[in-house]
Amino acid sequence: MDWLEEAGYSAPPATWDEFLAIAKSFTKDGTYGFGLVGDNSMETTLFWAPFLWGNGGDFLTEDMSEAIFNSSEGVEALEFYVQLYREASPEGSVNNKRGDSQNLFLSGSVGMTTVGPWFPKFIENDAPDMDYAIAPYPVKERPISLGTADHIVMFNSSEHKEEAWTFMEYFTNEENDLKWAKYQGFIPYRQANLTDSEIINNEDMAFFLNVAEDAVSYPTLPEWPQIDQAVADAIQQALIGVKTPEEALNEAAEKVNQLLGN
């Protein structure tokens, strides 16, 4: 919060315009406003998605038959992401994954970054004296956050399905779900654990539980990994300037539509 106060602000940014203005004000004397994720991988899509959704865009049509992330809303969201990179992020951000951006924040090199409920545990362990605050994604058209979950999967070809299922039941039972959530800083999987006193009285966790009400999840279809990568490719191409945001997203949409049989 001291960076905000020194820059003359009394609250975290609530809109895109405020976010860019504050990020630019932090960018001076070897520090930067925003720890952007730009690596050509699923993590870049992960942290760009709320800008797309928050601007009224989406990845696919409702029936998941056609790409629409190259709509005017999507292009504007990528233009904004590129602007954040060029005006308020370290040059090497085009190669940064989530862990890199988080480390830049922990070291005091950037004033803001995008995180999930796991990050306060990193601060507690690696920068216990840091004064920080968590705020929602800045709003353009609507408040939004990414809803996602880690999964435990049993392969259909497994030769030890009974043993695997025994472990899965053990790991995800109510007691161990709560232990895992507290250890990792995750939102519990089990609804019963959402009322645990340590969970609901934790200020950081209370924040993430609150914004989860505005969460949107990725489309669920077998082709998603390829779609995800096509979007990540487009984002990075726009960041490094080899294509405009519109050109990059249009090319990616064409690839996705071919993948979907269009």
Q: What is the pLDDT along the chain (262 residues), one digit of tens a residue?
A: 588 888 888 899 999 999 999 999 999 989 999 999 999 889 999 999 999 999 999 999 999 999 999 999 999 999 999 999 999 999 899 999 999 999 999 999 999 999 889 899 999 999 999 989 999 999 999 999 999 877 889 999 999 999 999 999 999 999 999 999 999 888 998 999 999 999 989 999 999 999 989 999 999 999 999 999 999 999 999 999 999 999 999 999 999 999 998 7
* Residue 3 confidence (pLDDT): 86
- SS3 per residue for the chain: CHHHHHCCCCCCCCEHHHHHHHHHHHCECCEEEEECCCCCCHHHHHHHHHHHHHCCCCCECCCCCCECCCCHHHHHHHHHHHHHHHHHCCHHHHHCCHHHHHHHHHCCCEEEECCCCCHHHHHHHHCCCCCCCCCCCCECCCCCEECCCCCCCCCCCCCCHHHHHHHHHHHCCHHHHHHHHHHHCCCCCCHHHHHCHHHHCCHHHHHHHHHHHHEECCCCCCCHHHHHHHHHHHHHHHHHCCCCHHHHHHHHHHHHHHHCCC
* Residue 38 confidence (pLDDT): 94
* Residue 62 confidence (pLDDT): 95
Query: pTM value?
Result: 0.91
Q: What are phi and psi of 98, to 5 degrees?
A: -55, -45
Tokens of 56: 């009224």
Residue 144, amino acid: I
Tokens of 157: 């070809």
Which residue segments constitute the domains of the chain, with CATH numbers given? 2-147+217-259 (3.40.190.10), 161-213 (no CATH)
User: How many residues comprise the chain?
Assistant: 262
- Spatial distance between the Cα atoms of 219 and 231, rounded to a whole number of angstroms: 13
* Residue 113 confidence (pLDDT): 94
Q: Whose CA is closest to 9, among 41, 40, 33? A: 33
* Residue 78 confidence (pLDDT): 98
* Contact (Cβ atoms closer than 8 angstroms) between residue 228 and residue 236: no
Residue 141 has a CB neighbour count (10 Å cut-off) of 12
